[in-house]
Amino acid sequence: MHVKYKRLTAKKTMAFVFFVFIFPGLFAGCGKRNDSSEKAYPTADWIRNAVIYEVNLHSFSEEGGFIGLGKRIHELKNIGVNVISLLPIHPVGELNRRGSLGNPYAVQDYYGINPEFGTAGDFHSLVDAIHRDSMKIVLHFAPGYAAWDSQVLMEYPDWFVHDEEGAIVSPEIDLPDAAQMDLNQHEPKKYMIAVMKYWIKEFDIDGYNIPAAGSVPVEFWNLARKELDKMKSVMMISGPAKPEYSRAFDLTSSWNVFETLNSINNRNLPASILDDLLKNEFICYPRGSLHQRFDGLCSADGSSYLKGNFDSETVKILAVLKFTIPGVLYLYNGEETGAEYNCSFEKVKINQSGRNELTKLYELLAALRKKHEALIDGSYMPVQNSEIKSVFSFLRFSAGDSVISVINFNNEGKTINLKMPAGSAPAWKNQLSDEYFQMQDSILTIILPSGSFALLAPCSERTAI
């Protein structure tokens, strides 16, 4: 599950904590550069082009459930969403339940549907409607996280992990309401793969989001992926940010980039460190690996959401960053309106109604991703700038297309000199405004107000000023 990360207010304390405890972890597990034989899972094009939106059915709409989501699919499509990721839809255990609704990862029946969300027929209708809109749907899933009163535990207690005294254990200290199945054993492994195949066969879902994939042996995932691929092209998302998972999963979480944003925002680290982290991913992970990009993070019990630590202007900066760095975009329930969604498993009222300034930015960024292939699957190159402590700039490029992102994290306006790569076009236009810029002696000069950004694309030299 996701790990809670708190922002400390004392600047010096935060810097100390970052460099002593967090910074080394961002680069942990990296050996020599992967050779050509180490390749990531061959991801389908629809996955590489994905914009994923996580939905908590309890809170997404007034009526809740499958029907409430179905009524708002078009709204999500307008902001570029083409994959919906549903929090678990299974019945939740009653024994050791925490809160009125319980933990959705404490599954009582892997083959069942929580009646609070609707019927099997309602879910069929939702999946069909999503597919008619040329979108996909994946389910959050925690294989082996069974409720204490689940049928599988009652029938097969030997399938579960036991401590030295013979008692069944929980998967994590923060999840006392779930029991951990032992997926090193053959029979429970076979059972869980059969469950995953069932939801694809019976409801035509398009894959799984596995926040707790790291609690399951990677060998299980390698086997499960082979079995699921026999049925259809599926998306598999792994919570753990570990290179070995890229051989069974299409996407792994990019905690290294995410955890750094607070320190850049607090001026404890230079913006240029983002380039170091992206290079580190390239070195550490199998070739072709993809990462999901997000700026919110839930704790193990679903009680916190880091986006609340950022002001409204920083949220816009982070949106631009997510939409333009290499990877696959992952959005949280309500973030397109700036809602401070707290990831609670309880029903939380999220103000999602109507379009506001942030929603319009998301729509514009989504349109630019469709317009510029370079932003989806283009190569990445850092662009040197004169304000590396507070400004992050980089180029995304593919055949016949290129976009430069320039992001000012500082609370002051900056005049920024970009040292353009060899062969760059002489004139560029900000895709977010009507500003044009002319390169002089390999330098492109732009002015950015505090906490702002620009997306530059080549334009006709005649229109540049």
* Claim to verify: residue 238 and residue 158 sit in the same structural domain: yes
Percent above pLDDT 90 for the chain: 52
Beta bridge partners of 381: 395
Read off the amino acid at residue 445.
T
Beta bridge partners of 236: 208
Q: With bands split at pLDDT 50, 70 and 90, how would you rate the model's confidence at 3?
A: very low
Say if residue 295's pLDDT is above 90: no
> What is the token pair recorded at 38?
């180490």
* Claim to verify: residue 78 and residue 120 sit in the same structural domain: yes
Q: With bands split at pLDDT 50, 70 and 90, how would you rate the model's confidence at 285?
A: confident
Give the β-pairing of 401-408 and 391-398.
antiparallel
* Average pLDDT score, the chain: 84
Say if residue 75's pLDDT is above 90: no
Domain boundary among 311, 341, 371: 371
Give me the number of domains the chain comprises. 2
Strands (E), 31-96: 51-55, 83-86
Domain assignment of residue 332, yes or no: yes
* Claim to verify: residue 223 and residue 330 sit in the same structural domain: yes
* Claim to verify: residue 355 and residue 396 sit in the same structural domain: no
Dmax over Cα atoms in the chain, in whole Å? 79
d(CA 36, CA 239): 25
Domain assignment of residue 3, yes or no: no
pLDDT of residue 306: 47
* Claim to verify: residue 42 and residue 109 sit in the same structural domain: yes
> What is the token pair recorded at 81?
């969403």
d(CA 160, CA 152): 10
pLDDT of residue 20: 32
Q: Look up the CATH number of the domain holding residue 32.
A: 3.20.20.80
Say if residue 274's pLDDT is above 70: yes
pLDDT of residue 355: 72
Please, are residues 464 and 427 in contact by the beta-carbon 8 Å criterion?
yes
* Parent domain of 259: 11-371
Calculate the dihedral angle through the C-alpha atoms of 445, 274, 276, 296, rounding to the nearest 10 degrees: -160
d(CA 123, CA 89): 10
Domain assignment of residue 1, yes or no: no
Q: Quick: pLDDT tens for 183-229.
A: 999 999 999 999 999 999 999 999 999 988 888 889 999 999 999 99
Please, are residues 150 and 93 in contact by the beta-carbon 8 Å criterion?
yes
Q: What is the mean pLDDT of residues 25-38?
A: 50
Q: With bands split at pLDDT 50, 70 and 90, how would you rate the model's confidence at 315?
A: confident
Q: Which long-range contacts (CB under 8 A, 24 or more apart) does 411-414 make?
A: 411/450, 411/451, 412/450, 413/447, 413/448, 413/449, 413/450, 414/387, 414/390, 414/447, 414/448
Domain assignment of residue 50, yes or no: yes
pLDDT of residue 212: 86
Percent above pLDDT 70 for the chain: 82
* Claim to verify: residue 36 and residue 161 sit in the same structural domain: yes
Say if residue 49's pLDDT is above 70: yes
Q: Quick: pLDDT tens for 228-265.
A: 999 999 999 998 778 888 889 999 887 666 667 767 76
* Claim to verify: residue 335 and residue 421 sit in the same structural domain: no
* Claim to verify: residue 396 and residue 301 sit in the same structural domain: no
Nearest alpha-carbon partner for 208 in 110, 278, 73: 110
Say if residue 294's pLDDT is above 80: no
Contacts of 141 (CB under 8 A, 6+ apart): 88, 196, 208, 209, 210
Q: With bands split at pLDDT 50, 70 and 90, how would you rate the model's confidence at 319?
A: confident
pLDDT of residue 215: 86
* Of 162 and 264, more confident: 162
* Claim to verify: residue 296 and residue 402 sit in the same structural domain: no
Domain boundary among 345, 371, 397: 371
Domain assignment of residue 386, yes or no: yes
Nearest alpha-carbon partner for 413 in 448, 363, 367, 442: 448
Cα-based angle 31, 36, 38 (whole degrees, multiple of 5):
60
* Claim to verify: residue 361 and residue 383 sit in the same structural domain: no
pLDDT of residue 8: 30
Domain assignment of residue 89, yes or no: yes
Domain boundary among 343, 371, 399: 371
Domain assignment of residue 4, yes or no: no
Q: Quick: pLDDT tens for 107-131.
A: 999 999 999 999 999 999 999 999 9
Domain assignment of residue 160, yes or no: yes
* Claim to verify: residue 272 and residue 401 sit in the same structural domain: no
Q: With bands split at pLDDT 50, 70 and 90, how would you rate the model's confidence at 337?
A: confident
Q: Look up the CATH number of the domain holding residue 409.
A: 2.60.40.1180
* Claim to verify: residue 427 and residue 294 sit in the same structural domain: no
